[in-house]
Structure 1
């Protein structure tokens, strides 16, 4: 099992997100449990390119302090919605014998959805802990409706297994100590 922490970056990690406090709390629980269980954690950052305010060197680009990686955790950069857009990350994940991929991060309807579907297409068993992804209101739906659409209708029983944080931690316990580093 690998835990992917996607795009929890300073420029979009604030109280505009649906259930912001709950999102941070539940995501931290999952990250802390993965660390305690020696599960590989990989962070992914989105880079929109120079001059966008969301690129290498920009404050908004940095991973949010609340969930910052430890020094031994890998960080990959992507320039498209799916984390699989980074070829090195994609190759690393494909080389894993265990094809379970737990995904947390931002935003539900963009990079999380793209990564969930890309992982599914590549044969991964995708696990989404409830409350560990979020998004903003948009012109068509508020953040809660968007979150519920993906987590309760689009992904379950099709692209991903959506489980409680407690169930996700139990799944990690079945995988204790598999990280090589």
Structure 2
């Protein structure tokens, strides 16, 4: 199993996110549990391009301190929503014998959604722990509605939705 941490970057870590405190508590807890159980933690950052303020070298681009990678943990950079758009990430993931991929991070309706679907199409068993992806309100839906829509409807047939307790138990196996 790999714990994939997507776009937990300074520009996006904001208390305007749906269920911000719960989201941060749960993502931090899962990262800690993965490390304690020798589950590999892989990070992916989004680069919006030079001059965007959300690119390599910008403070907003950096992974938030609360969830920052430890020395030796892999970090990939993507320029499109799906993590599989990075050829090195794609090759690394496809080289793994264990096809279980637990996905956490931001934003539910952008990079999480694109990566969930790409992983499923490539034969990965996608696991989504409850309360570990989030997003902001938009012109059409609240963050809460968006998160529920994706977690309970859009992904219903392609992911295994689990509680925090179940996610941590899976890491121990």
Indicate whether the TM-score tops 0.5. yes
Aligned to 1:56: 56
Aligned to 1:179: none
In the alignment, the residues of structure 1 paired with residue 171 and residue 35 of structure 2 have an alpha-carbon distance, to the nearest angstrom, of 10
List aligned pairs for 1:94-173, cutoff 5 A.
94-156=94-156, 158-173=157-172
In the alignment, the residues of structure 2 paired with residue 20 and residue 159 of structure 1 have an alpha-carbon distance, to the nearest angstrom, of 25
Please give the secondary structure, in 2, of the residue aligned with 1:43. Answer: strand
In the alignment, the residues of structure 1 paired with residue 66 and residue 153 of structure 2 have an alpha-carbon distance, to the nearest angstrom, of 29
* Aligned length in residues: 173
Aligned to 1:177: none
In the alignment, the residues of structure 2 paired with residue 122 and residue 129 of structure 1 have an alpha-carbon distance, to the nearest angstrom, of 20
Q: Deviations for 1:100-146, whole angstroms, at most 9, x for unmatched residues?
A: 00000000000000000000000000000111100000000000000
Aligned to 2:91: 91
Name the TM-score, length of structure 1 as normaliser.
0.94
Identify unmatched segments of 5+ residues in structure 2. none
* Shift of residue 165, structure 1, vs aligned partner: 1.0
* Shift of residue 154, structure 1, vs aligned partner: 1.2
Cα RMSD (Å): 0.6
* Shift of residue 90, structure 1, vs aligned partner: 0.7
In the alignment, the residues of structure 2 paired with residue 155 and residue 168 of structure 1 have an alpha-carbon distance, to the nearest angstrom, of 17
Name the TM-score, length of structure 2 as normaliser.
0.99
- Flag as ranges the 4+ runs of structure 1 deviating above 4 A: none
